[in-house]
Amino acid sequence: MEKFIRPQTLADILTAMPTASFWTWTRGDTLRRGHLTIYQDDIPNDRRTVHEVTFYMHCIYIDRRQLRGYNADKNQWGEYVGNSSRIELAHRRGEKALRAYIAAQAKEITGAPNPQTFSFYPGQVSRYY
C-alpha cells in the first residue's frame, strides 16, 4: 500500500499540499502560467514522491516521479525509480481554489500575493525570491 495519493485532479493536489514535506511555486509567463512542485518524503521506506503541476494556457499537466537512495550525510536523494507518469487534466476545475491557497501562503510568507518564486516548508523558515 502506497503512503501517498496519486493525484488525478487539482483537488487531489490541494489535498496533498498541507501534508507535503515541502513545495515550491514559480510564477509563470505568457505561455506557462505557473509551475508547482510538491515533494512528499517517506524516509523510512526510502522514497520521495515528486508531483509537478504545470499550468499552460491551454492545459494542465501533472507529472509524477519517485526517487530512492536517500543519503542523510549529504542530505540528497539518489536515483529515480521506474518510469515517470504524466496526465493531462481534462478540465481546470479546482484551479481557483488551488491558486487561492498558494496566494494565501505566499502572502503569509513573503508579504506579497504573487512572488516570482517561493518555497513552503511546514514548521520551518520558508524561502522566497
pTM: 0.84
Question: For the segment 60-75, what is each residue's pLDDT rounded down to a tens digit?
Answer: 999 999 999 998 898 8
Question: For the segment 99-113, what is each residue's pLDDT rounded down to a tens digit?
Answer: 899 989 888 888 887
DSSP classification of residue 96: H
Domain residue extents for the chain: 10-128
